[in-house]
Amino acid sequence: MWLILHERVPVKVELLKRGVSGVADDLCPLCNQARETVEHLFFTCSVAWQLWTSSARCWDVSLVLHRNPLKFMVGWPHICSKLTKDTMWLLIPFAIVWTLWLHRNDIIFRGKSCDFVQLDFNIKLRVAWWWKAIKSESSILMDSIIYDPSLASSIGEAYPLSRAYWCWSLPPSGFLKFNVDGACSHEGKCGVGGVLRDENGSTLMEFSLSIGYGSALMAEIVAIKFAVERFTSSQWANRSRLVVESDNTSVDWVLNPSLASPLFSKLVQGISPFFIEGRWSIRHIRRIQNVHADFLAKAGIG
């Protein structure tokens, strides 16, 4: 942010001025319509502007902002009088410019394409993590903040354990959500279950089946595997992103296979690439938020 305010970020226009080799053109990699200056990349680019307005829309705020970075940042806290000292609102600019810069570098150096849905989601995810780090005493769920960041503004310091705390939450726009669970009887017979729902909460797909005998942990991992297989072979695979939710901490193994127990490492390694690449996400949630998947898993035991 300091570099942006002093217009010292190494954007293409600046690199060409300095005679840096390997810079083929000065076009913005996000829109390919204008020169990549600091003002354009972070504020006036059509992609960047959509991100600013998308974030502000969560608070029902309409933006008319200065294109000068310093004046922009000075004016941000005062756009709405009730948000002047709001922690979540103040975090938004930092999340947007950092996410834009990382995505810009992914396009230039890793050959990725501009992806607005992913950008918008990453901003909301980043802001939610930062806010939770500051407000560690808050009981509001990460998912609730990601879906609606303005919740963090309205709850103040004393957020009650309300319905949002206990219930399943809708996926972000452009994503589908697959809730999964595994269950095991006293005799060791296991079942898995899952339900795929869209951003309106409509059920698109379910599965409930027996997987033979094993452990509860095995069933939890197999449930994730089944969800991945069902989704990749479905009609929605090429049209939507996926969020997988499980009430088991084995999701940490999926995101970091090196942590997995040797007994399950091969199974986890077959799942991990789908999530590590960044287009999909997987999360650990409370069991009470996973009631329907839990019911399907237990029904699958037979």
> What is the average per-residue pLDDT within 192-205?
93
Q: 285 versus 193: which is more confidently predicted?
A: 193
Adjacent-strand bridge partners of 209: 192
Residue 166 confidence (pLDDT) above 60:
no
The band of 158, judged by pLDDT with boundaries at 50, 70 and 90, is very low
CA–CA gap between residue 299 and residue 207 (Å, rounded): 10
CA–CA gap between residue 136 and residue 184 (Å, rounded): 34
pLDDT of residue 159: 40
Amino acid present at 109 = F
> What is the average per-residue pLDDT within 2-22?
86
Residue 49 confidence (pLDDT) above 70:
yes
pLDDT of residue 164: 47
pLDDT of residue 261: 83
In degrees rounded to 5, what are phi and psi of residue 28?
A: -65, 125
User: pLDDT (tens digit, 9 = 90+) per residue, 27-36?
Assistant: 999 999 999 9
Residue 17 confidence (pLDDT) above 90:
no
pLDDT of residue 160: 45
Q: 155 versus 280: which is more confidently predicted?
A: 280
In percent, how much of the chain has pLDDT > 70?
93
pLDDT of residue 154: 60
CATH superfamily, with its number, for domain 175-301: Ribonuclease H-like superfamily/Ribonuclease H (3.30.420.10)
pLDDT of residue 187: 84
User: Which of 103-114 are b and which e, b meaning 16 or more Cβ less than 10 Å from the residue's Cβ?
Assistant: bbebbeeeeeeb
> What is the average per-residue pLDDT within 147-164?
59
Residue 163 confidence (pLDDT) above 70:
no
CATH 3.30.420.10 domain position(s) in the chain? 175-301
Count other C-beta atoms under 10 Å from residue 163's C-beta.
7
User: pLDDT (tens digit, 9 = 90+) per residue, 57-82?
Assistant: 888 888 877 778 888 888 888 887 77
Question: Residue 179: which of 243, 239, 126, 248 has the closest Cα?
Answer: 243
* Backbone dihedral region for residue 111 (phi beyond 0: left; psi -120 to 50: alpha; all else: beta): left
Contact predicate 11/41, CB 8 Å: yes
Contact predicate 221/268, CB 8 Å: yes
**Sign of the alpha-carbon dihedral angle for 84, 89, 94, 97:** negative
